[in-house]
Structure 1
Amino acid sequence: MFLESKRRGEVFGLFLSSAVINNPDYTMDKINTVARLLRYKHDFRGYIHLKIIPGASDAAIEDALSLASAVSLNIETPGGKHFEMLSGKKDYEKDIVRPMKLMSRLTGKGMKLSRVKCTTQFIVGASDETDSEIIDSVFDLYERLRFKRVYFSAYQKGLGDPNIPGERHFLSNPGEHFMREHRLYQVDFLVRKYGFSRKDILVDGSGKLRLDKDPKQLWAERHPDFYPVRINSSDRATLLRVPGFGPDTVKKILAMRRERNISRFEEIGIKGKRLENALRYVIFE
């Protein structure tokens, strides 16, 4: 099915995962066998993303890395105490942390498998974790383990064991978990693309992100002394702190400045609500 879809130009790669069959290594063998057939029997050189099964052996993980373009093992929660509330069958340190460290080491700079990207995912709201705890873990994953991406998935009530925190907690707003997921993705983007540090990500006294305001806007409002930003002379990092300016807009500004001074937002294509917001934070000197 995959190869036929590839021949028709409908897909360019494959994401391969599985529920646990018998045990982690048996499952990994099935996953790796499919990848090996694609690579060596069918000479497929495109994108293959393989799921690492928690508890898999070092040998099974290294085999997957040798076949894949990217691999992922879902961390689920920020720390063992939250993980234990969700699963009594897996050991957080042995089944999650140990293999993630191995993935990091085998794909580190200068290693034979350094081309392989490692990713992971948090389930937001299944346990009783705070946003602050998730954010701390995100920074660890990027800075210490050198993972390429962190993803987030909002927990949906009614799908899990009735005894886990995500089922027991009453939500005044049914969409709260989805908004938390959205805010965490914004934080992730600020970390990866805007150069925000851990202290730049603001949470309240209970470790929660503001659901009613995006974290970049909140930082701007808490740091009025940083503004106004001079649009014709400020560096890239400074321009990226302007609400409404993303990496593409800043790239365009820097390119235009090499030829002339910018005097109006219309020159860089900003309009509507983005324009209204950005006007409060910049000057055209």
Structure 2
Amino acid sequence: MAQDVQDKLKILADAAKYDASCASSGVKRSNGGKGVGNATGSGICHSYTPDGRCVSLLKILLTNRCIYDCRYCVNRVSNDVPRAAFTVEEVVRLTIEFYRRNYIEGLFLSSGVTMSSDRTMDLLAEVARKLREEEDFHGYIHLKGVVGASTEALEKAGRYADRVSANIELPLQSDLDRLAPEKSIDEAEGAMRFLKEGIDESRARASRPSIQSTNSGPRRQSRPPRRFAPAGQSTQMIVGATPSSDSSVLSTADRLYRSHGLRRVYYTAYSPIPNAHQDLPLEPRVTDFVGGSPPALVREHRLYQADWLLRFYGFTIDEVVTRGDGNLELEIDPKMAWALAHREFFPVDVNRAPREALLRVPGLGTRSVEKILKARARRRLREVDLRQLRAPIRRVMPFIVAADTWEVAARSLDGEGLAGDVRKDGQQLLLFEAAASARSGQV
């Protein structure tokens, strides 16, 4: 590898660390014994598949040169940082070489906007095209959808990439007006709308058999058409760079999920960047926290938890945001905060309650609830049965009753020290435990 490419890699891999939208889950593709690479249906950068494998993507920028001056971006045009740019061929060669050395299983490629949105999007899509058509690469590819690019450029990206993400960047237009006046939420949503149409059309086409006419009559087409962004689309929001509340952030995310069918909204905690602009806070904006200001990552993590509750647990924004100032509790997770504020809902009888009620119990995730529903169909569940189902007993017991725990639950719920006990235990939300909770389905 040439020295100049190594230098570029050092600069552009470091510049890409601010982009969190790099999940590789959601698509399966086999090379069928030909070509290079496979894309599996699970795996996130620096995470683990169910069988314990670490899955990684080559995560780089095509260039960190940018014509925009977004205050929160380290690569803004007015910032004095080392600049570099790959050629399309260099990114293709890096991806193939890294794959063959077993360093990566796919590519996450973003970029600063160089020359124009259209030109940048076309270069990103050309990388994917060359990998697919010239290198016969079947691994995962995630491209950043450049907001403001033409529908033709976005269509080319969706044709060759597994996932395309158009970043909204900040939750409110007023935030963008202050920190990135050249950008607009409407323009970002325009890109999302086009991508959704392409994804929906591709899925509809894939769901029905394709018939091809011949001289001897119609016959089924032997090779299905290429799918459009089969892993869907995602977006990213920076939180803490502006005073916008968690309620505003979640309201925007909820609208994007409903309107554009996003697979994920990524929340990135703002942290001071090198040569930070004067319009940015010296420290991330976070709500009060006992013992001083917490790391911004705690707020970021709470937003992910709240996002999960909105999407999979039947909660509303008013329910997950329990503080009067529109922000999430930082000491305890959103589900626990709701439970403490609604003790009248509890205890929940694990032998009789519907699925929707069980999902509101702190510590019971979707997998735990499904296990309970199956087990109670055979017999009345007791505390020992819940332990065997691997339910997190310490968190669950104050909020449920089993066949043999009525008195224990009543005493726990009525005790004035319940909230204090939860908060003490409550460093329950050490960040490194989040992955384990997600894998076990417990929220």
Is the pair's TM-score, using the shorter chain for normalization, greater than 0.5? yes
Q: Which has the larger radius of gyration?
A: 2
Calculate the aligned-residue CA RMSD, in Å. Answer: 2.3
1:100 aligns with 2:192: yes
Deviations 1:30-85 (Å, cap 9, x if unpaired)?
11111001111122233211101222111111111111111112111112111111
Partners of 2:177 and 2:275 in 1: CA distance: 14
State the match for 1:152 in structure 2.
267
Structure 2 unaligned runs (5+)? 1-93, 206-227, 404-443
1:278 aligns with 2:371: no
Q: Does the aligned pair in 2 maintain the 1:71–1:117 contact within 8 Å?
A: yes
Give the aligned residue type for 1:99.
Answer: A
Partners of 2:233 and 2:381 in 1: CA distance: 41
Partners of 1:187 and 1:160 in 2: CA distance: 32
State the match for 1:219 in structure 2.
338
| Cα pair distance change 1:242/1:160, threshold 3 Å | farther
> What percent of counterpart residues are identical?
35
TM-score, reference length from structure 1: 0.89
State the match for 2:317 in structure 1.
198
1:207 aligns with 2:300: no
Correspondence for 1:267 among 371, 388, 399: 388
| Cα pair distance change 1:28/1:236, threshold 3 Å | same
Q: Does the aligned pair in 1 maintain the 2:170–2:176 contact within 8 Å?
A: yes
SS of equivalent to 1:121: strand
| Cα pair distance change 1:170/1:133, threshold 3 Å | closer
CA displacement at 1:208 relative to structure 2: 1.2
| Cα pair distance change 1:7/1:169, threshold 3 Å | closer
Structure 1 unaligned runs (5+)? none
State the match for 2:300 in structure 1.
181
Partners of 1:206 and 1:132 in 2: CA distance: 9
CA displacement at 1:249 relative to structure 2: 1.6
Correspondence for 1:234 among 353, 358, 363: 353
Partners of 2:315 and 2:327 in 1: CA distance: 18
Q: Does the aligned pair in 2 maintain the 1:132–1:203 contact within 8 Å?
A: no
| Cα pair distance change 1:34/1:157, threshold 3 Å | same
1:118 aligns with 2:239: no
Deviates more, 1:211-220 or 1:85-94: 85-94
Give the aligned residue type for 1:68.
Answer: A
State the match for 1:67 in structure 2.
160
Give the aligned residue type for 2:387.
Answer: E
Correspondence for 1:48 among 114, 136, 141: 141
State the match for 1:134 in structure 2.
249
TM-score, reference length from structure 2: 0.59
| Cα pair distance change 1:111/1:82, threshold 3 Å | farther
Partners of 2:147 and 2:270 in 1: CA distance: 20
Q: Does the aligned pair in 2 maintain the 1:155–1:166 contact within 8 Å?
A: no
Q: Does the aligned pair in 2 maintain the 1:123–1:155 contact within 8 Å?
A: yes
Deviations 1:187-229 (Å, cap 9, x if unpaired)?
0111222222233222422211111221100111122222111
Deviates more, 1:75-84 or 1:257-266: 257-266
Partners of 1:90 and 1:40 in 2: CA distance: 34
Partners of 1:127 and 1:83 in 2: CA distance: 9
Partners of 1:58 and 1:177 in 2: CA distance: 36
Correspondence for 2:169 among 76, 80, 83: 76
| Cα pair distance change 1:162/1:6, threshold 3 Å | closer
CA displacement at 1:149 relative to structure 2: 0.5
